[in-house]
Chains A and B, each alone.
Chain A
Amino acid sequence: MTLKRTEVEKIAHLARLQVTADELDAVAGDLTNILDLVAQMESVDTEGVTPMAHPLHMAQRLREDEVTESDQRERFQAIAPATENGLYLVPKVID
């Protein structure tokens, strides 16, 4: 499977990564290599093997439903680029 430049552009946009025009061919080549590796693995017979969701063979630990966090808004907002009335401000977005 060979990725096209347009596909790389789309993936880059979805991930909000900037890939310049002269980088596109190289990135497409790298990603294609990765996909080839996956294709190779797909040829292995996995009949009867449980799909793995996580490399650790453990189950998720659960925490009790208790409020353990206190309000630290001042500290968090001190490192935010812009805030007002307790809100974080971001460049305008419209639905």
Chain B
Amino acid sequence: MNWETVIGLEIHAQLATKSKIFSGASTAFGAAPNTQACAVDLGLPGVLPVLNRGAVLMAIKFAAAIDAELGRRSVFARKNYFYPDLPKGYQISQFELPIVGRGRVELLLENGDTRTIGVTRAHLEEDAGKSLHQDFHGMTGVDLNRAGTPLLEIVSEPDMRSAREAVAYARKIHQIVQYIGICDGNMQEGSFRVDANVSVRRPGEELGTRTELKNINSFRFLERAINFEVERQIELLESGGRVVQETRLYDADRDETRSMRTKEEANDYRYFPDPDLLPVELDDALIAEATADMPELPDARRQRFCDQYGLGAADAQQLTASRALADYYEQLVAVCGEAKMAANWIVGELSGALNREGLAIEQSPVDAGALGGLLQRVVDNTISGKIAKQVFEAMWQGEGTADAIIEARGLKQITDSGAIERIVDQVLADNPEQVANYRAADEKKRAKMIGFFVGQVMKASKGKANPQQVNQLLRGKL
């Protein structure tokens, strides 16, 4: 009998504010320990939290991006637990009344189908600090720079049915928060963290007992952690055992999930409204301000790329994967004027080179203007597409602009028909046998045989002869 997998995700997105959610300390990554932890972040007596307007605006933006109900009145609550990297003994979060209510995102699956995943809610909360467990004379070190960094916790419905769908959903949220500029999406630095709730059941039955998977810091590991956990649960159930509701940590080195030592009263957080903070009320002016500069969202942009530039769905999907890439593409089209050619170059040469060196599009040594300059030379027949790839490599190595490289290396296409004719004549004179064969062959065979002569001419011209002219001249002379 089959098992059905049920997955819901909790995503913590660090909001890209300059200062913390309840204090004026900096949120910049990588500062020396505790240099960005002020009295509020440390939970010293007598301090009071004051909510960051920027974090509120970002939450409103997110609500607009996933078509969610907005919590016009939301309330902060204390989530109580003791851990050294949580100085106050409670985390300020939202419980009953979150700032973002029910919304949804649409996934485009690999087979072209779309699937809608529900977002239950998203709420604002503060991040904790970091505990460093390496030995400090038998003690633990605590860095509170991260304490108080604003988080938007985005909770999905248990709508996903496979690890792949879960990854597609996580990527979608990742894409949206970056597009609207509320999170840098850096998973290595922990700016975007994904926890997965996983259970299995027989189709049509009630939800099974779930486990929560943590410590997943890439999309690849998300897929592997879920797949491992699904297998583990099925094996357990089929051998007569039962799944225990618990938190499990994913160990990437061993590719397995492991039970966290269960704390006695896990999840007994005794939430209550934080008396230090008043309810947050969103008025129309604030909502208008937050949504005034909403960029075009990824789905809309993908559709426009298909309509406006005549791109296929796969190309449009790839080119709108990030806002930076989509911007690069549109700048490139603006310079070179050839939408399809621009798409092919980005999907092909440019992506290849970026992947080879592990660079993001923002770090490309060849910017859109420079690449556009190169493609212009292909469009106006100064060079062939093949030579253009050589020039691109040289540009990538920092040898200058396309025009400078073409000039310096003498790569200009030969369009002087007299010059090409001389090469064609030479090739025909050198290969009398092939010429005779060609002339004796029927039309169908000739179409194939002419390739030989074209190849010889291109070789003799070091690839610089204009291929159309070569073809024309050859056909005339043969």
A residues apposed to B, CB below 8 Å: 10, 13-14, 16, 53-54, 56, 58-69, 71-73, 76-77, 82, 84-95
Tell me whether B446 is interfacial, beta carbon within 8 Å.
no
- Compute how far the CA of A58 lies from the CA of B277 in the bound complex, rounded to whole angstroms: 10
Tell me whether B75 is interfacial, beta carbon within 8 Å.
yes
- In the bound complex, residues from chain A placing their C-beta under 8 Å from that of B24 are 63, 66-69
Stretch at the interface among B27-35, B103-111, B348-356: B27-35
Q: Are B52 and A62 in contact (CB under 8 A)?
A: yes
- Contacts A65-B54, A87-B132 given; does A14 touch B141 at CB 8 Å: no
Tell me whether B447 is interfacial, beta carbon within 8 Å.
no
- Contacts A60-B279, A68-B24, A90-B84 given; does A13 touch B139 at CB 8 Å: no
Interface SS, A side: loop
Q: List 16 A-B contacts (CB under 8 A).
A: A14-B268, A58-B278, A59-B278, A60-B281, A64-B54, A65-B55, A69-B24, A71-B36, A85-B141, A86-B33, A86-B143, A87-B136, A89-B142, A93-B83, A93-B133, A95-B260
- In the bound complex, residues from chain A placing their C-beta under 8 Å from that of B278 are 54, 56, 58-61
- Compute how far the CA of A16 lies from the CA of B139 in the bound complex, rounded to whole angstroms: 20
Q: Are B51 and A60 in contact (CB under 8 A)?
A: yes
> Which listed residue, B35, B270, B273, touches A14 by the CB 8 Å rule?
B270
Tell me whether B93 is interfacial, beta carbon within 8 Å.
no
- In the bound complex, residues from chain B placing their C-beta under 8 Å from that of A86 are 32-35, 143
Q: Are A73 and B35 in contact (CB under 8 A)?
A: yes
B residues apposed to A, CB below 8 Å: 17-19, 23-26, 32-39, 42, 44, 50-56, 75, 80, 82-84, 89, 97, 131-133, 136, 138-144, 260-261, 264-265, 268, 270, 273, 275, 277-281
Q: Are B25 and A89 in contact (CB under 8 A)?
A: no
- Compute how far the CA of A92 lies from the CA of B83 in the bound complex, rounded to whole angstroms: 11
Q: Are B50 and A67 in contact (CB under 8 A)?
A: no
- In the bound complex, residues from chain A placing their C-beta under 8 Å from that of B280 are 59-60
New contact pairs (18) apart from A72-B39, A89-B140, CB-CB < 8 Å: A54-B277, A59-B278, A59-B280, A59-B281, A60-B279, A61-B51, A67-B26, A69-B36, A76-B39, A84-B136, A87-B142, A88-B142, A89-B136, A91-B139, A92-B133, A93-B84, A93-B140, A95-B260
Q: Are A62 and B51 in contact (CB under 8 A)?
A: yes
Q: Are B51 and A63 in contact (CB under 8 A)?
A: yes
- Compute how far the CA of A68 lies from the CA of B17 in the bound complex, rounded to whole angstroms: 13
B34 CB to nearest chain A CB (Å): 5
- In the bound complex, residues from chain A placing their C-beta under 8 Å from that of B281 are 59-60
- Compute how far the CA of A84 lies from the CA of B36 in the bound complex, rounded to whole angstroms: 16
- In the bound complex, residues from chain B placing their C-beta under 8 Å from that of A13 are 264-265
- In the bound complex, residues from chain B placing their C-beta under 8 Å from that of A73 are 34-35, 37
Q: Are A65 and B17 in contact (CB under 8 A)?
A: yes
Q: Are A63 and B52 in contact (CB under 8 A)?
A: yes
- Compute how far the CA of A13 lies from the CA of B55 in the bound complex, rounded to whole angstroms: 35
- In the bound complex, residues from chain A placing their C-beta under 8 Å from that of B141 are 84-85, 87-89
